[in-house]
Amino acid sequence: MELFVDTHAHLDFDLFDEDREIVIQRAIKNGVAAIITIGVDVESSKKAVELAEKYATVFAAVGIHPTECADIPDRDFDLIEELANHEKVVAIGEVGLDYYHMRAPKEIQKNVFLYQVHFAEKLGLPLIIHNREAHEDIYDLIKSKNISEIGGVLHSFSGEISFLEKILLTDFYISFTGNITFKNSKSEELVKETPLERLLLETDSPFLTPVPLRGKRNEPGFIIHSAKKIAEIKQIEVEELGEITTENAKRLFKKLDI
Ligand SMILES: [Zn+2]
Q: How far is the CA of 95 from the centre of ligand 1 (A)?
A: 9
The answer as to whether 140 is a domain residue is yes
DSSP type of residue 192: H
Q: Give the chain's mean pLDDT.
A: 94
Which residue segment(s) compose the domain that 71 sits in? 4-252
More confident residue, 128 or 209: 128
The answer as to whether 114 is a domain residue is yes
Rounded Cα distance, 135 and 132, in Å:
7
Q: What pLDDT, in 10s, does the model give residues 93-116?
A: 999 999 999 999 999 999 999 999
Q: How far is the CA of 73 from the centre of ligand 1 (A)?
A: 22
Average pLDDT over residues 232-258: 96
Q: How far is the CA of 4 from the centre of ligand 1 (A)?
A: 18
User: Residue 58's pLDDT is what?
Assistant: 98
User: Residue 1's pLDDT is what?
Assistant: 58
Q: How far is the CA of 162 from the centre of ligand 1 (A)?
A: 24
Question: What is the CATH number for 48?
Answer: 3.20.20.140
CB count in 10 Å sphere of residue 88: 18
Q: How far is the CA of 66 from the centre of ligand 1 (A)?
A: 11
CA angle (68 as vertex; 32, 43 as ends), nearest 5: 60
The answer as to whether 190 is a domain residue is yes
3-state helix vs strand vs coil in the chain, percent to 5 = 50, 20, 35
Q: How far is the CA of 205 from the centre of ligand 1 (A)?
A: 8
Q: How far is the CA of 143 from the centre of ligand 1 (A)?
A: 22
User: Residue 240's pLDDT is what?
Assistant: 96
The answer as to whether 159 is a domain residue is yes
The answer as to whether 258 is a domain residue is no
Q: How far is the CA of 200 from the centre of ligand 1 (A)?
A: 14
Domain count, the chain: 1
Query: Measured between alpha carbons, how far is residue 177 from residues 15, 114, 149, 211, 237 in Å?
Result: 18, 26, 25, 11, 19
* 167 HSE (CA, 13 A, CB side): 30
The answer as to whether 121 is a domain residue is yes
Rounded Cα distance, 176 and 199, in Å:
8
The answer as to whether 150 is a domain residue is yes
Q: What pLDDT, in 10s, does the model give residues 16-42?
A: 999 999 999 999 999 999 999 999 999
The answer as to whether 157 is a domain residue is yes
